Amino acid sequence: MGPVRVRKSSRSAALGPKEAEKGGGNQNLQPIPDHLAMDLDILFTGINPGIKSSQKSHHYAGPNNAFWPCLFESGLVDRPLSYSDDHTCPKEFSMGFTNLVSRPSRSASDISKQEFMDGVIPLKSKLLKYKPKVVCFLGKGIYETFLGRRVSPDELNVPHAITFAELQDAVEPSTSPSSSTVSPYFQTIPACSPTPAQRTKVILFPMVSPSGR
């Protein structure tokens, strides 16, 4: 009998090289859909979907994720919501959801630096197309990737305006690949909303990630 050939696992294609090396996770994980609309009051932007979010095809679906309880505690919505309500938020609350990286993973550390960089131009294109008033980045790391520079702790939870013209300049010339402790930060978001006269700009708002993938 000849040597037995071990078939290579398909897990590496589904989860990426780092997770395949760790030998954990689930196969055939799928990205989750964005929930977007024109002129949203707030566009929540996450890093990438976790395992549970991919399996349920909803945003922030991890059992320990504080996003949905904090959203209610902040007063931004008038009733408790769960991940299953994410698709209703653009129409009902003028809030949308997207991610910098679409590929699901067990941990954000499984996403390569190149994948983060490759997500910047598509995200900027979404902002140009849908023109949200406020973009809330759920995590310091994705905010730094979006800006292309390091940010200081003093810049967290502080609104920063950028014009749509600046976004357009950043998109068009590019030829290279490119819990309760969270609730108080959610409560500061409405104050960042610009008036209609300021609709040449979008407000970028970085805050602490609710975690709990």
List the catalytic residue out of 26, 28, 35, 48. Answer: 48
Q: Say whether pTM exceeds 0.95.
A: no
* Annotation says 26 is catalytic: no
List the catalytic residue out of 58, 59, 65, 99. Answer: 59
Q: Enumerate the domain spans of the chain.
A: 29-207
Among candidate residues 73, 77, 78, 46, the one with its CA nearest the CA of residue 62 = 46
Query: DSSP secondary structure string, 128-191?
Result: HHH--SEEEEESHHHHHHHHTS---GGGTT--EEEEHHHHHHHHTT--S---TTTHHHHHTGGG
* Annotation says 48 is catalytic: yes
Edge-to-edge strand ranges of the sheet holding 201-207 = 95-99, 42-46, 134-138, 201-207, 160-163
Q: Which CATH number fits the domain 29-207, given the four candidates 3.30.450.370, 3.40.1260.10, 3.40.470.10, 3.40.50.300? A: 3.40.470.10
**Residues 9 and 99 sit within 8 Å (Cβ to Cβ):** no
pLDDT tens over the chain, length 213 residues = 444 343 333 333 344 444 444 434 445 899 999 999 999 999 999 999 999 999 999 999 998 899 999 999 989 999 999 999 999 999 999 999 999 999 999 988 899 999 999 999 999 999 999 999 999 999 888 999 999 999 888 888 888 888 888 887 765 543 333 355 566 666 666 555 555 555 678 888 888 777 666
